[in-house]
Structure 1
Amino acid sequence: MAAPMFVPFYHRVADTHPNDWTISRTEFERHVDYCQSRFDMIGLDELQRRVDRKDSPCPSVTFSFDDGYAENGEFAIPLLIERGIPCVYFVAIEHIRSQTPFSHDVDAGVPLPVNTLAQIRDMADRGIEIGLHTRNHVDFSKVTDLQTVHHEITNATEELQNMIGQRVRYFAFPYGLPKHLTRVAIDAVDEAGMDGFCSAFGAYNTVGRDSFHIRRFHGDPCFARFQNWLSFDPSKLRSEPMIPYTIGHGESKQDYGNEEVEAKLTCEALIR
């Protein structure tokens, strides 16, 4: 079976201080209702299993969040927990530890609150997968020295595991565009013992590809655009940028559209 696997990402669910990285509570719940009624709701571990075993019987959705905004603990995460919907929640640990707002919020004149460590631990204890989003929300297109990469990923992974008392399995690149997905940073994710990394440039997950790279798209507040991403478009496979990297025992990986997969993945596959 070769149904596509979708991973939307969000940043902040709130009804105050709207901006480009915020979706309202009403619209987020609409996203959840729509996905839960039409797709398998799975975790990233199950997504990887389906990719590796080339067995994806039904289209699926996995919710994810980046950064770590405090308001997510007031509505969005409790909603997902109440419904038993898997979610991976990526945090920049120094912002959590020091309670420092993100620079992009400070620059916008609205220093929004970030999650506390107690909130993150509570999420983890209640079944939310906590992932790493670097230590300081680093732009790896501007950082190349090994010491900084090690500090932001390898050391940060161990520290986050100690903070929550659980293994950290996944990493999400800040900004997540091809230029940010550098070989040295991907190497560090592998060396840190994580199971995979997430991009954010807009792409599908399909069977038979390398599951170490998990592709995501924006959970767009415009519902029509969100629906469009959840309707499989084979042309997006052909236009997807290649992200070459090496993991494990020197095994070279390169992500690109697969013609066989593309032929099998049709809009009809979305009809359950």
Structure 2
Amino acid sequence: MNINSFRKTILLHTLSAVPYPLLEKIVRPAVIIPYYHMISDDEVIHIKHLYRHKNIKEFTQALEFLLQNYTPLSLMELIDIITKGGALPEKAFLLTFDDGFREMSDIVAPILIEKGIPATFFINTAFIDNKEMCYQHEASILEEYLRNNCLSQEVMRKTAEILQGQSPCSKGRTPLMVMFRERELLHDIAKVVGYDFNDYLMRNKPYLTSEQIRRLLNQGFTIGAHSINHPLYSALSLEDQLYQTSKSIRDIKDRFGLKYGAFAFPHTDHGVSKEFFIEIYKTGLVDISFGTSGIMDDIFYRNMQRINFERPLLPVQNIMSFHLARRFFKNITGNGRLTRHCIVD
């Protein structure tokens, strides 16, 4: 853990002791937008080494907290308010989910329907129908395989060479350190160790199918794009950012007959330029977009910031206390609004 992460952890636990009602009254956010990736009581290998997820009990407890303290808001209501003007319901929340895992249909949707909560699911178009897998999910699978199988020294040597470091079983580079632009290395490693990602896709079906997505839409939920294949946007050129965004939104809208365009940045929108937002909104393809900076405003009012309700693994009231206190301190220091840089030629 680096020093910044350590300080954040200490601050989080300290602020968790501050009464939530007091913080909420001080900050009074117009709308809160939580996001999750996975809800399951099971071990999920393709995310096991990336982050810890909330189980069903923790999720339902969070929903009860939200219903007790906030008013559910749908994506379409939010788009209508943003594009046409109008007032948000007092203490509103919009629930969102990223990455398009099949658990959204199997586990999450039935719980939300029972409680009467609308939600939006953001989907990577390349992974629909389990045709491809996110490079980070492949990395988690490989990490699990390398840790739990006795491989020959020759195989380990070749794996280390591919990673351009020491053996993944030592303190050297591991599959989890592979970046988006290097993702083919994961396929090279899989060939060396004899692992078949396609077999995993067929056996586990980690992502939503087209049929499941249509069922979610028929159940009253909304969907949006989460890029094509989950890159970190700050590591892309402006051209590639625009391509990932426009193609994924077009594919989602055309495939499922949507009349709205919603986009959630994979990873984060940190480092994304003014030019990007000006261009995507100018085209009319995107009605609303979402980042991951917590309870924050953005200089582009149609880019809404969301709160991670998965990490850390604390009760949701503690997570909310942290984000409310963080926003309070940013307000008094004049940093309550995210700024954007311009691209320098």
TM-score range for the pair, normalised by the shorter chain length: 0.7 to 0.9
Q: Which amino acid counterpart does residue 186 of structure 1 have in structure 2?
A: F
The correspondence for 1:81, drawn from 113, 119, 138, is: 113
Q: Which runs of 4+ in 1 moved over 6 A?
A: none
The correspondence for 1:160, drawn from 242, 245, 252, is: 252
What is the Cα deviation at residue 114 of structure 1? 1.1
Q: Is the 8 A contact 2:249 2:262 kept in 1?
A: no
What is the Cα deviation at residue 144 of structure 1? 0.8
Matched, 1:143 2:169: no
Q: Which has the higher strand share?
A: 1
Where structure 2 has 5 or more consecutive residues not aligned to the other structure, the ranges are 1-27, 145-199
What is the Cα deviation at residue 145 of structure 1? 4.9
What is the Cα deviation at residue 45 of structure 1? 3.9
Q: How do 1:1-272 and structure 2 match up within 5 A?
A: 4-17=30-43, 19=48, 20=51, 22-47=53-78, 53=85, 55-56=87-88, 58-109=90-141, 113-146=206-239, 148-179=240-271, 181-190=272-281, 191-204=283-296, 210-220=300-310, 221-223=313-315, 224-229=317-322, 231=324, 233-237=327-331, 238-240=334-336, 242-244=338-340
Q: Which amino acid counterpart does residue 244 of structure 2 have in structure 1?
A: E
Deviations 1:117-163 (A, max 9, x none): 111111112111100101111222121152x3343122222211122
Q: Is the 8 A contact 1:178 1:241 kept in 2?
A: no
Q: Residues of 1 paired with 2:231 and 2:276: CA distance?
A: 11
TM-score normalised to the size of structure 1? 0.77
Q: Between Structure 1 and Structure 2, how many residues are aligned? A: 241
Q: Is the 8 A contact 1:197 1:212 kept in 2?
A: yes
The 3-state SS of whatever aligns with 1:214 is strand
Q: 1:114 to 1:98 in 2, by over 3 A?
A: closer
What is the Cα deviation at residue 236 of structure 1? 3.8
TM-score normalised to the size of structure 2? 0.62
What is the Cα deviation at residue 225 of structure 1? 3.1
Q: Residues of 1 paired with 2:265 and 2:234: CA distance?
A: 11
Q: CA RMSD in A?
A: 2.8
What is the Cα deviation at residue 240 of structure 1? 4.0
What is the Cα deviation at residue 23 of structure 1? 1.4
Q: Residues of 1 paired with 2:300 and 2:274: CA distance?
A: 15
Q: Which amino acid counterpart does residue 161 of structure 1 have in structure 2?
A: K
Q: Residues of 1 paired with 2:284 and 2:228: CA distance?
A: 14
Q: Which amino acid counterpart does residue 108 of structure 1 have in structure 2?
A: S
Q: Is the 8 A contact 2:40 2:56 kept in 1?
A: yes
Q: Residues of 1 paired with 2:75 and 2:322: CA distance?
A: 18
Q: 1:78 to 1:182 in 2, by over 3 A?
A: farther
Bigger Cα displacement from structure 2, 232-241 vs 149-158? 232-241
Q: 1:21 to 1:123 in 2, by over 3 A?
A: farther
Q: Residues of 2 paired with 1:241 and 1:95: CA distance?
A: 34
Q: Residues of 2 paired with 1:60 and 1:205: CA distance?
A: 15
The 3-state SS of whatever aligns with 1:58 is coil
Q: Which has the higher helix share?
A: 2
Deviations 1:76-98 (A, max 9, x none): 12211232212111000011145
Q: Which amino acid counterpart does residue 178 of structure 1 have in structure 2?
A: H
Identity, in percent, stands at 19
The 3-state SS of whatever aligns with 2:285 is coil
Q: Residues of 2 paired with 1:57 and 1:80: CA distance?
A: 20
Bigger Cα displacement from structure 2, 97-106 vs 59-68? 97-106
What is the Cα deviation at residue 166 of structure 1? 1.7
What is the Cα deviation at residue 192 of structure 1? 4.9
What is the Cα deviation at residue 194 of structure 1? 1.6
